[in-house]
Amino acid sequence: MNNGTIKAWVQTLGLQLLSGFAAALALGGALLFVIFALFSYMNLYSTLHADVQGRVQFLSEVYHTQGLERLTEIVGRQGFSDDSADVLYFLEMKSAETSALAPAFAYRDDTFGLVQFLLQGLYWNNETERRMFAETESLNPELRLTVGRFYQDEFDAINYLVGKVAMVIAVFWLFAMLTTTVATHRALMGTHRIGTELRAIMQKNLEGRLPRDAVTPYLKDLVDVGNEMLDHVAMSLQGVRSVSDNIAHDLRTPLTRLRNKLTQLKPRVPKEYESTIDELLSDCDDLLASFNALLRISMLEAGSQIRTDAKQVSLRVVLQDVVEMYEPVANDTGVLIDFQAEYVEQINGETDLLGQMFANIIDNAIKFTPSGGVIQIRLERFGPEQIQVSIADSGVGIPEAERKQVFRRFYRGEPSRSEHKGHGLGLSLVQAIAFYHRASIKLKDNNPGLRVQVYFPLVLDATRSLAPDRAQA
């Protein structure tokens, strides 16, 4: 996968939606986990603090009401030397140089508030010590009491619960991402399919419509809007074509009569007017050619495409005949035609239409190729199911922005191309003939010049042999 493909994939709507949902879901899951963990540890801290504080207050009250002897008796039962007890007590004289607690108190003192309690919970890594929550209170200026409670079991239970919650959130996130990916893919595949079918309809047959039953319910409205748009476009184009076709049809007959009368009049006029008659005849021929081309385009576009059982035609023979016809014209303008053809299978087609299509392309190539230029014509297989005809010149070319416009009727292009004589229907006829033969056309830059590539579909058949072409490359 190259950088362009990766960039195109990253910029797709599906990935953007999925990335945004994944980030939002991950943020929500992390926030939920932090809230649950903080609540659990805060609840443990509150429980420990209340328990130890209650015991300190009780023993302080015992000291003040029953005296030191009674307090010493209670404390002595659960001194810090008893590691098996859950709650330990310690009495200490402040005047002692060394605390008797020091050698016996091998436990961490978590009495520095909630924040330190949470931090010590995160960074505690001493497996030899049990966790203790301890508080110290001065009973008199010389005596202080320390009460400690072990909470290792509770802490381990909370850690286990927090870990399980984190696992559940992660599994939920993965499941949500999987289901969202499938749903997004299905939704976007539906829109992608609609876009592909719309593009095919616009390029090949405006009479086609989007299938409504094959899409999900939430895309049916989009399909309906698309079909209404196609109806409107087809109606508009049909109106324009009908007007132009009617004009061409209605004017062709009187124009033919006019030409015949000019032909009959030519021998009767003085010689100084013969050149004028010739110019009028030439103009009539150009108009008739335009009308005939316009009517032929309409017939090809209005009719169905060629049948699969139509007569088989050798593209090699058709191209060779057209090249032989245009080689003298090319030689007169100083242009070389380089024709090379492979032995390829025949296709279903009509010879005269294919000859007209290639003649129009080659004629344009000769017109726009300067003296000393070369026109390369290639016939070859393109993949297992197509045949490619490539006609490349070294002329002025066509700007990329105009390549989709040149197939429109009467389009003349930029001024430099408009200097040449023509009626703007040549490439329209080429496209109509290609559509009739189920072929596709691509215009590419030849650096310099223009490369016209025509792709003909080839239905492979085990009984079909190579065409017995008579032409040689």
pLDDT, tens digit (0-9, with 9 covering 90-100), for 406-424: 777 666 665 444 555 556 6
Residue 63 near residue 158, CB atoms below 8 Å: no
Residue 341 has pLDDT above 60, yes or no: yes
CA–CA distance, 272 with 261 (Å, rounded to integer): 18
Q: Residue holding tokens 């294919």?
A: 354
Specify the pLDDT at position 463: 37
Residue 293 has pLDDT above 90, yes or no: no
CA–CA distance, 138 with 93 (Å, rounded to integer): 10
Residue 10 has pLDDT above 50, yes or no: no
Q: Which of 188-202, 260-274, 278-292, 414-428 has the lowest mean pLDDT?
A: 414-428
Helix, strand, coil proportions of the chain in percent (round to 5)? 60, 15, 25
Residue 71 has pLDDT above 80, yes or no: yes
Residue 97 has pLDDT above 50, yes or no: no
DSSP string, 191-239: HHHHHHHHHHHHHH-TT----STTS-HHHHHHHHHHHHHHHHHHHHHHH
Query: What are 239-274's pLDDT values in tens digits?
Result: 655 665 666 666 667 777 877 877 887 787 787 777
Q: Can you give the pTM of this predicted structure?
A: 0.47
Specify the pLDDT at position 110: 45
Average pLDDT over residues 379-384: 87
pLDDT band for position 470 (cuts 50, 70, 90): very low
Q: Residue holding tokens 């150009």?
A: 286
Specify the pLDDT at position 155: 83
Q: Which of 163-167, 340-344, 377-381, 414-418 has the lowest mean pLDDT?
A: 414-418
- What does pLDDT average to over the chain? 75
Q: Which pair of tokens denotes residue 448? A: 């310099």
Which is more confident, 211 or 279? 279
Residue 17 has pLDDT above 50, yes or no: yes
Domains defined for the chain, CATH in brackets: 12-162 (no CATH), 217-302 (1.10.287.130), 312-457 (3.30.565.10)
Question: Coil, strand, or helix at residue 387?
Answer: strand
